[in-house]
Amino acid sequence: MHELSVTQEIIDTIEQARSEAGAHLIVTAVRLKIGRFTAVVPDYLRHYYEMLTQNTPLHGAELHIELVPIVARCRACAAEFVSDSPMLLCPECGATQADVLAGRDLLVESIEVDEPD
């Protein structure tokens, strides 16, 4: 699964931010922005996060996931359009070749940390 390696990368990013904030801190919440073009399924991501963070200071954090729509530009007629699906179809001319302008990225926007109990 694509989500497994993606989740591991996200965890590495979070862990780095956490350890910079303070080695003893635990992560309570994470805000993620996921472009729909990545085709990452948030439920799988949550599942793998839960699995991969067992017995770490990242375990139990609340994941806030915002899905970012795809914005694309048609290569045939240059129309810009928004798509919820990675299958891009120009609504103006029906062409299927388009350049993705937004919705490709997967970002850890912020993390919240706290003192352990």
DSSP letter (8 states) at residue 82: E
Closest approach, Cβ 38 to Zn ion, in A, equals: 23
Pick one of 30, 58, 90, 111: the residue that binds Zn ion (CB under 5 A): 90
90 or 113, CB closer to Zn ion?
Answer: 90
- Give the tokens for residue 33: 């922005």
68 interacts with Zn ion by CB under 5 A: no
Q: Which residues pair with 73 in a beta bridge?
A: 80, 99
Nearest alpha carbon to residue 17 among 115, 100, 109, 99: 109
Q: By the criterion CB under 5 A, which residues form the site for Zn ion?
A: 74, 76-77, 79, 90, 92-93, 95
